[in-house]
């Protein structure tokens, strides 16, 4: 949807939305290609024995048509919710596509969720069907009687009690199906927020959400797609970052997606996969990048021939950007968004040099501003709320069964992200932090991201999480939770050295006045630091 130009301004000026009245995600990412190039490669799935399994668009169309027929056969109707509790797998893609084609609403769920998390989401959405595997079915067995709307569990593994065989049942169905003529504004999926504050909320998205993602995906991958592109992410497809930043946009563009479930993500496994499958493009969350950065000189150990890396979820800084250039020979493009309104700001190394600690510029097609408490744009250089003007194709329809939360998400015609930021005179946006993450110390407002980036630059620090701790004299002080690299011994002297490291590189008011060494940091399933948990640890 973007036209490649020489400057960002030219790209922005040449862009306009093309959102048809009728649009269906499943038809777009599958049938459109299957009918033109049935043998075109869609997925490369790694089998348990390590061998690749090629999946074509014809394979996706047949599988999704059979699933759509099965869902209709068992009484699923347009608008019904069907949950997908699966890791990266061909069945995950087939499930989303089939659900969309028959007019259902898909709900991606993480395999890492425990029983309480699953019970809340399935009960809240009143899901009628769950598509899962053996591990998921075992979790569901303990809560099924608490979810009265749930009628069927389709399991991709065989012989699991109280489930219906996914593969056996779809094989008995016809591989022909006439997709419903859904409108672009019709509901397509519910993605639950990570729930770092309060109960998770179900963000209901329309079919147009995929079209709304495309400009951000294209610009964050230096005008994706290009010849020979092949994309992968370690991010779970249950996260909006895995599903709508990688899987569905790639299928829309006809770019093969490498699909692998890691039993445990490691830096070595990531580099092995990139080399083995000749990955050219990747979405790597900051946590994954930080883990991969622990390998010394990976460019000398693996044959890496990547074209682009995009990252989002937490702010990158100079350390990771420089490591990316040295390791991959490219500049990692940073992007910003959230479950309700994603891929709205991005950098693009092909158009503009990266600015460490600053996300990028509003993606063409999205009107992003920094507002004051009254909802008015603030001058350049002034901190305020990051907001997006409605309507916008990528913007959610509403929170599922939560009109109060939906209303509070808006200030007039502006959707409030809940994040604070600063806009430069030439339009770059600096992410400061969540409203409740910003630290107020001695009159200064301090964002944790810049300090965390500085901390991981210290030779002994593996990971860092920063919060504000209440203080009688300064309102708050900066408190840093530090995970040290393997073999490093914690000590008071090391803590002082780390404090000096920050003080001399950032500012005296930003250095952590208190440091606590921990074995691990509390993380969401998407790899974000859960600062509310850190605040509980600090109290």
Q: What is the pLDDT of residues 391-414, one digit of tens each?
A: 999 999 999 999 999 999 999 999
How far is C-alpha 235 from the chain's CA centre? 7
pLDDT score, position 196: 45
For the segment 56-81, the average pLDDT, to the nearest whole number, is 98
Question: Could you tell me the CA-to-CA distances from 75 to 68, 127, 151 in Å, in that order?
Answer: 11, 13, 10
Closest CA to 150 of 210, 109, 186: 109
pLDDT score, position 317: 80
**Portions of the chain given CATH number 3.30.300.30:** 436-538
pLDDT score, position 312: 87
pLDDT score, position 443: 57
If you search the block for the tokens 């496994």, which residue do you land on? Answer: 269
Question: Could you tell me the CA-to-CA distances from 282 to 73, 99, 182, 233, 459 in Å, in that order?
Answer: 38, 27, 31, 5, 26
The tokens describing 371, both together, are: 């507002």
The tokens describing 485, both together, are: 């690299």
pLDDT tens digits, 416-427: 998 889 999 999
Whether the per-residue pLDDT at 197 is higher than 60: the answer is: no
Instruction: Name the least confident of 17-21, 152-156, 482-486, 527-531.
Output: 527-531
For the segment 508-529, the average pLDDT, to the nearest whole number, is 85
For the segment 75-79, the average pLDDT, to the nearest whole number, is 98
Whether the CB-CB separation of 224 and 214 falls below 8 Å is answered with no
Whether the per-residue pLDDT at 264 is higher than 90: the answer is: no
**Portions of the chain given CATH number 3.40.50.12780:** 26-196
Q: Residue 151, by phi and psi: left (phi above 0), alpha (psi -120 to 50) or beta?
A: alpha
Q: List own/partner pairs for 178-181 with CB under 8 A and 24 or more apart.
A: 179/24, 179/26, 179/27, 179/31, 179/68, 179/101, 179/102, 180/24, 180/78, 180/101, 180/102, 180/103, 181/22, 181/24
Whether the per-residue pLDDT at 170 is higher than 60: the answer is: yes
Question: With bands split at pLDDT 50, 70 and 90, how would you rate the model's confidence at 435?
Answer: low
Handedness of CA 493, 495, 501, 502 (dihedral sign): negative
Whether the per-residue pLDDT at 444 is higher than 70: the answer is: no
pLDDT tens digits, 234-259: 989 998 999 999 999 999 999 999 99
pLDDT score, position 17: 97
Please give the CATH architecture assigned to the domain spanning 26-196: 3-Layer(aba) Sandwich (3.40)
Question: With bands split at pLDDT 50, 70 and 90, how would you rate the model's confidence at 509?
Answer: confident
Integer Cα distance of 293 and 266 in angstroms: 11
For the segment 194-204, the average pLDDT, to the nearest whole number, is 72
3-state secondary structure of 374: coil
Query: 405-432 burial, b for 16+ CB within 10 Å, e for fewer?
Result: bbeebebeebbbbbbbbbbeeeebbbbb
DSSP-derived secondary structure for 38-91: TT-EEEEEEPTTS-EEEEEHHHHHHHHHHHHHHHHHTT--TT-EEEEE--SSHH
Whether the per-residue pLDDT at 492 is higher than 90: the answer is: yes
DSSP structure class, residue 296: S
Whether omega for the bond prior to residue 233 falls within 30 degrees of 0, making it cis, is no
pLDDT tens digits, 373-389: 899 999 999 999 999 99
pLDDT score, position 380: 96
For the segment 107-130, the average pLDDT, to the nearest whole number, is 92
DSSP structure class, residue 244: I
pLDDT score, position 445: 58
The tokens describing 133, both together, are: 């595997």
Give the E-state strand segments of 90-155 in sequence order: 105-109, 129-132, 152-155
Fold of 436-538: GMP Synthetase; Chain A, domain 3 (3.30.300)
Instruction: Name the least confident of 33-47, 83-97, 427-441.
Output: 427-441
pLDDT score, position 165: 98
pLDDT score, position 436: 66
Question: With bands split at pLDDT 50, 70 and 90, how would you rate the model's confidence at 301?
Answer: very high
Instruction: Name the least confident of 87-96, 181-190, 467-476.
Output: 467-476
């Amino acid at each position: 949807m973007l036209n490649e130009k020489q400057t960002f301004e030219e790209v922005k000026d040449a862009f306009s939305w093309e959102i048809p009245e009728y649009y269906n995600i499943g038809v777009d990412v599958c049938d459109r290609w299957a009918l033109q190039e049935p043998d075109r490669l869609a997925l490369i799935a790694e089998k348990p024995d390590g061998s690749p399994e090629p999946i074509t668009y014809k394979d996706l169309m047949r599988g999704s048509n059979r699933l759509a027929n099965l869902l209709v056969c068992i009484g699923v109707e347009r608008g019904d919710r069907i949950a997908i509790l699966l890791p990266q797998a061909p069945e995950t893609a087939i499930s989303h596509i089939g659900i969309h084609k028959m007019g259902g609403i898909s709900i991606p769920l993480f395999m890492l969720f425990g029983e309480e998390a699953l019970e809340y989401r399935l009960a809240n959405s009143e899901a009628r069907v769950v598509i899962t595997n053996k591990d998921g079915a075992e979790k569901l067995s303990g809560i099924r009687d608490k979810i009265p709307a749930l009628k069927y569990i389709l399991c991709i593994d065989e012989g699991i009690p109280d489930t219906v065989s996914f593969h056996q049942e779809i094989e008995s169905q016809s591989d022909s199906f006439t997709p419903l003529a859904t409108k672009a504004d019709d509901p397509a999926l519910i993605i639950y927020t990570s729930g770092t504050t309060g109960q998770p909320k179900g963000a209901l998205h329309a079919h147009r959400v995929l079209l709304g993602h495309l400009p951000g995906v294209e610009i964050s991958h230096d005008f994706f797609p290009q010849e020979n592109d092949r994309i992968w992410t370690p991010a779970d497809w249950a996260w909006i970052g895995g599903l709508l930043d990688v899987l569905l946009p790639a299928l829309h563009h006809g770019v093969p997606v490498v699909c692998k479930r890691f039993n445990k993500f490691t830096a070595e496994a990531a580099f092995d996969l990139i080399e083995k499958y000749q990955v050219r493009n990747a979405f790597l969350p900051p946590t994954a990048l930080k883990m991969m950065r622990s390998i010394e000189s990976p460019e000398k150990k693996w044959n890496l021939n990547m074209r682009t890396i995009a990252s989002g979820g937490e702010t990158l800084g100079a350390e990771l950007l420089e490591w990316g250039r040295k390791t991959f020979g490219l500049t990692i493009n940073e992007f910003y968004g959230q479950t309700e309104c994603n891929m709205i700001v991005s950098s693009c190394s092909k158009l503009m040099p990266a600015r460490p600690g600053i996300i990028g510029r509003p993606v063409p097609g999205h009107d992003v501003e920094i507002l004051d408490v009254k909802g008015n744009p603030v001058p350049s250089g002034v901190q305020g709320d990051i907001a997006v003007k409605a309507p916008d194709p990528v913007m959610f329809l509403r929170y599922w069964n939560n009109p109060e939360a939906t209303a509070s998400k808006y200030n007039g015609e502006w959707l409030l992200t809940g994040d604070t930021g600063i806009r430069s005179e030439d339009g770059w946006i600096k992410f400061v932090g969540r409203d409740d993450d910003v630290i107020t110390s001695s009159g200064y407002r301090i964002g944790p991201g810049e300090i965390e980036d500085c901390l991981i630059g210290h030779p002994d620090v593996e990971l860092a999480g920063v919060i504000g701790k209440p203080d009688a004299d300064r309102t708050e002080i900066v408190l840093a939770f530090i995970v040290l690299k393997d073999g490093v011994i914690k000590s008071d002297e090391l803590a002082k050295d780390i404090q000096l490291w920050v003080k001399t590189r950032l500012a005296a008011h930003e250095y952590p006045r208190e440091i606590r060494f921990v074995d691990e940091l509390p993380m969401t399933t998407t790899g974000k630091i859960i600062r509310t948990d850190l605040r509980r640890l600090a109290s």
